[in-house]
Amino acid sequence: MYVKHWKPLATAIGTAIALVLVILFWLGPERIWETLVNANPYYLGLAVAIQVLDILVLTTRWHIFLRNVGNIGFKTTLALTVCGTAVSNITPSGRVGGEPLKAYLLKKRYGIRYGASFATIILERIVDMLAFLIISFVAIFYGIVYFKLPGHVIFLLIIAFLFSLSILLGLWYVTLKKRLRSQGISDWLERHEWISKKIPVLNYYKEKLTDSLLNYYSHVAKIAANTDALMYGFLVSIVYWFLEISRAYVIFLALGINAPFPVIALAYVFSAIIGSLPFGVGGVGLTEGTMILIYSTSAINSVVASLATLIDRLISYWLMIFVGLPVAGYLGIEAREESKNGGLHDSTG
């Protein structure tokens, strides 16, 4: 059974690594080595420190919402954030692949129902996307006005922005404006029986749909009524995206390039959207290619742009996999043991 589940994952990760190696060989090992030996190690250390701070900021943002539904400690939220980020990095669903795992662990280890967990996750996602879109708008406007970006790049940036905006509006409408009706969903699943056949678990949860939706929307209403949580969550999201861009900026400094901050913001805006599309694993290949495209378009040396991108992804992507997957495995084993014993872990963290 384990071979069955791990073989596709290993293949996907192997493909991702192969794409990175293609970029490395395209650049040329000599040029890469020459650039690396001249890199400033203090700036590289600062980039790693920014990544650690980034994870703490992510944890803080979710904790702001999570404490409205249960007595979950910050250390517990940190562990769940780390493992959720790692799983998101190895699934095709970009930035959301680890969310079901976090909800599962909250249920199994701390007795928090799925409706409550997903209420915190979706509201967190809404404030994150709002902050992201504001930064995206400023970055795209600056890029169009002050940088001579090619027309096709501007077109793709605008399409990417509108795509993200449509997702935000959809989440807002379904979550805060119009409650989904369980009967309507059940009828829809019956009309599209092939979906239930593809995802058999839907048939099981269809019976529990009404109760789950009521639980979900009751917690959405409870958290949304806490305007301080929404405001602080939004402000923390701004800090998060600023740190993401700052990490890349520091890496360019380590390589001896003072890259324009707005250009880095443009690269992150575009790559974050492209990387979230369900192609490949964690957006590997698409994300790197998009960032290199934006950097190179802005007259940054292609070797430095590519190397800076790969170092940034090594810190923000691969490091999180190496750290997060063991944490996810440990929490999963604990959850199964506690489930067998019929007890719940102390949620004070």
- What band does 243 get if pLDDT is binned at 50, 70 and 90? very high
- Domain borders along the chain are 33-339
- pTM metric for this prediction: 0.79
What CA–CA distances, in Å, run from 131 to 20, 233, 239, 274?
30, 10, 9, 18
- What band does 179 get if pLDDT is binned at 50, 70 and 90? low
The whole-angstrom separation of Cα 271 and Cα 293 is 10
**% of the chain exceeding 70 in pLDDT:** 71
Where is average pLDDT lowest: 181-185, 192-196, 329-333? 181-185
Mean pLDDT to the nearest integer, 199-223: 70
The two structure tokens encoding residue 72? 């979950």
**In terms of C-beta density within 10 A (0-12 exposed, 13-18 middle, 19 or more buried), how is residue 179 classed?**
middle
Mean pLDDT to the nearest integer, 108-122: 86
> Is-contact 253 154, C-beta < 8 A?
no
pLDDT attached to residue 298: 75
Tens digit of each residue's pLDDT (9 = 90 or more) over 251-307: 999 998 888 888 888 888 888 877 666 555 555 667 777 788 788 777 788 788 888
Task: Output phi, psi for 148, to 5 deg.
Answer: -85, 70
Helix (H, G, I), strand (E, B) or coil at 225: coil
- What band does 2 get if pLDDT is binned at 50, 70 and 90? very low
Q: Is it the case that residue 152 has pLDDT exceeding 70?
A: yes
**DSSP letters for 66-100:** HTTTS---HHHHHHHHHHHHHHHHTSTTTTSTTHH
**% of the chain exceeding 90 in pLDDT:** 20
Q: Is it the case that residue 59 has pLDDT exceeding 90?
A: yes
Most confident option among 27-36, 130-139, 334-343: 130-139
